[in-house]
Amino acid sequence: MHCLQKRSVAGRQMSHKSEMTEERQGKLPRRRKEVKRSLRRPDCPEHLSGGSVHWLPEHPGSEASASVEDTAESCPKRWDRCRRGHFLHGPYPATHFGPKACVLPNPTSVMHIQDPASQRLTWSKPPLNVLVIRKIRDETLLEPFKELCRFLVEEKHLMVYVEKKVVDDGSLMRDDSFSAIRNQLCTFREGFDDISDCIDLIICLGGDGTLLYASSLFQGSVPPVMAFHLGSLGFLTPFKFESFRTEVDKVFEGNAAIILRSRLKVKVVKGTFQKNEQLLSAQENGILPHNHINNEAGKITLQLQVLNEVVVDRGPSSYLSNVDLYLDGRLITSVQGDGVIVSTPTGSTAYAAAAGASMIHPNVPAIMVTPICPHSLSFRPIVVPAGVELMITLSPDARNTAWVSFDGRKRQEIQHGDSIKITTSCFPVPSICCHDLVYDWFDSLAQCLHWNVRKKQTRLTDASDSSETEN
């Protein structure tokens, strides 16, 4: 069997070589040579298109490889123009969430990008491992937490993961009726135990902070998140706990509506201090020096996935914050004020909204840049394409350092020569919708932010009605 396969392969190779020889001698018409393109980001999996445009030759000596070489030699200028750094639409989001969840494919769609309104959750295998995140230091959540764990362990026969500090809570330890369930819970510690490859579903009990914390635990693919509103603010938590059994059963059955909340991929690069004269000259022509863009002398000290926003502010200093904002390596503006917020559409209803930014639906692919109390009154918030790369550095004439935080966590100081690089991540947070992605968003605007709530204006009395009243 193996000999027959080798002979057939050798025969095809000889036939292909003879055809190529006859083509060169003019005996056969030359076939049309095609150049294959591929849209790829170097920081994303190969099947997630949305990055740099490259010419991809096949194996050396193949026809496609020869056509690429011919094109490069004959059209060098065109070859250079085909390479660009970023795709403005941003990376195509991952459609697999954790080990078993993925977006239900839509066979009736003729579009390459699926309509967000038609995105549904499906399971390749029944979910087995569930992570329950509970808001800590809130005694009112003890009973809902115990009720949910009993349901998942005794009725659904699932493996339930919780944080060790939650299980070690004194109130739970003293509850003898919960001891049997507590002994079956799997515990983990943040920063020590990696559970990113074993969780099938995340259930949050609390406010928006619980969902932000869940996002921080998964720096790659994020399992589907089901969030129950049991906190002070529930803009990202659409489910009510009273009907949790019915809602959880619907999710396990599949076909639940989901919304993919984009995240920001952030890198903090610690660089060497450069002379102010070099950076000032770079400001004049609007383009950073090459060594400063690539930070060849620096190193990446932190890389995070951020769901809401990156905040750069003046910290404890009494001076104005003075940072430079670059877009794809080109200086856009200098931000002088209390700071600047770079947020996702999900974060547009958080800190950015308090700073005067517009609220953007999470399905809009964009990055928001919002100044915090800018020194210039003409500096309004802006929205840029999701595929660009933003970079924030200290201005060379800044009087003090700056401070940066990521979703309100991991706050650290930024000094001269350091840079913060921000772009859209390939790994969104798949949030399960209670109704649908449009209704849930506007319902949150009305219920949590009291959007456009006012006393209605009364109508004017008609002139004919007033004359009849006088008579």
Cα–Cα separations (whole angstroms), residue 334 to 327, 351, 404: 12, 21, 16
Strand partners, 424: 264
d(Cα 166, Cα 172) in Å, to the nearest integer? 8
DSSP code of 286? Answer: T
Residue with tokens 């009907």, as numbered in its chain: 243
Give the whole-angstrom CA distance, residue 390 versus residue 421.
6
Helix axes 142-150, 244-253, angle to 10 degrees: 40
195-200 long-range contacts, CB within 8 A, separation 24+: 195/131, 195/161, 196/220, 196/221, 197/99, 198/99, 198/129, 198/161, 199/98, 199/99, 199/129, 199/130, 199/131, 199/161, 199/223, 200/98, 200/99, 200/100, 200/101, 200/123, 200/127, 200/128, 200/129, 200/130
Residues with a known catalytic role: 208
- Judged by DSSP in three states, 405 sits in strand
**Residue 109, both tokens:** 């769609």
Close Cβ partners of 283 (under 8 Å, ≥ 6 residues apart) = 324, 331, 334, 395, 396
- C-alpha to C-alpha distances, 461 to 125, 466, 469, 471, nearest whole angstrom: 65, 7, 11, 16
**Tokens 């928006």, located at residue:** 208
Q: Which of 352, 118, 347, 360 is nearest to 236 (CA)?
A: 347
| CA-closest candidate to residue 216, choices 467, 407, 70 | 407
The one-letter code for the residue type at 284 is E
Strand partners, 38: 54
SS3 state at 80: helix
